Amino acid sequence: MITHKEKILIIDDSNEILQFLKRFLESKGFMVYTSTDGVEGIQKAIEVKPDVIFLDLMMPNLDGLKMLNVKKVLDEIKDIPVIVISANTARRNVLAALEAGADKVLSKPLKNEKILEYINEVIGKETETISENVLTEEELVEFRNDLIEYFLNGFPERKVKITNAIRNKNLNELKSVIHEIKGAGGTMGYPELTEICKEIEKREFNSPTDWVFAEFKSNEIFQVINKIKQKFSKQIN
């Protein structure tokens, strides 16, 4: 059975998901390390020798699939099990991750029971203790509220980045910020936010009208965020 002393490395460019996983896993007694970049993640894996790596597929500099391929040839970390985190669990994506060396593919939004189940499975432990560790409804609400507060505090900076990216027609910057928001949407319990972000990510951006579309959809995101902010304010007051 899990001894709750295992080390876990989370590699994800979404601060919200990092904070959610870190807090949840630390509450279960794990030692948790984090990284927001694939290159840094490789270095940290070599340094701390985690028992499990949680890895997002979509990241800047070195994405998840490339990192898995790099990991294969590094003797120091090649045997560390990897649980891939992905919002897109279409069969093709799952197979690509498994073929690249992932042990499990965990879909977003993340579910606490499934997180613990997969950790047990890849470490080779029994799963009898999982039912004892499921969060109460009150704990889940507390986790989600903390995550929403963290997201809202950082959103003004993201809003500026989105606005500037559209004004300057900087597609890389726009999709980078949108990707972060997409990941946070499902984890916070707002799938509508994730869906709007997906529409922007799928757009080809071959003509000026695509940027009009981006501005329209970004305004939808801002409206959803305002509703989340208003609802959250009422909850905590």
User: Whole-angstrom Cα distance, residue 149 to residue 173?
Assistant: 24
Residue 210 burial (C-beta neighbours within 10 Å; 0-12, 13-18, 19+):
middle
pLDDT digits (tens, 9 = 90+) for 157-166: 999 999 999 9
- Reply yes or no on whether the pLDDT at 24 is more than 60: yes
User: Whole-angstrom Cα distance, residue 126 to residue 68?
Assistant: 26
- The DSSP 8-state label assigned to residue 207 in this structure reads S
Residue 226 burial (C-beta neighbours within 10 Å; 0-12, 13-18, 19+):
exposed
Q: What is the mean pLDDT of the chain?
A: 83
Higher pLDDT, 98 or 236: 98
* pTM, two decimal places: 0.65
pLDDT digits (tens, 9 = 90+) for 126-172: 433 433 344 566 766 776 777 788 788 889 999 999 999 999 999 99
Determine the pLDDT at residue 237: 57
User: Whole-angstrom Cα distance, residue 218 to residue 203?
Assistant: 13
Q: What average pLDDT does this structure show over 41-59?
A: 88
Q: For the chain, which domains are there?
A: 7-134 (3.40.50.2300), 138-236 (1.20.120.160)
Question: Closest by alpha carbon to 179, among 88, 97, 68?
Answer: 88
Higher pLDDT, 52 or 148: 52
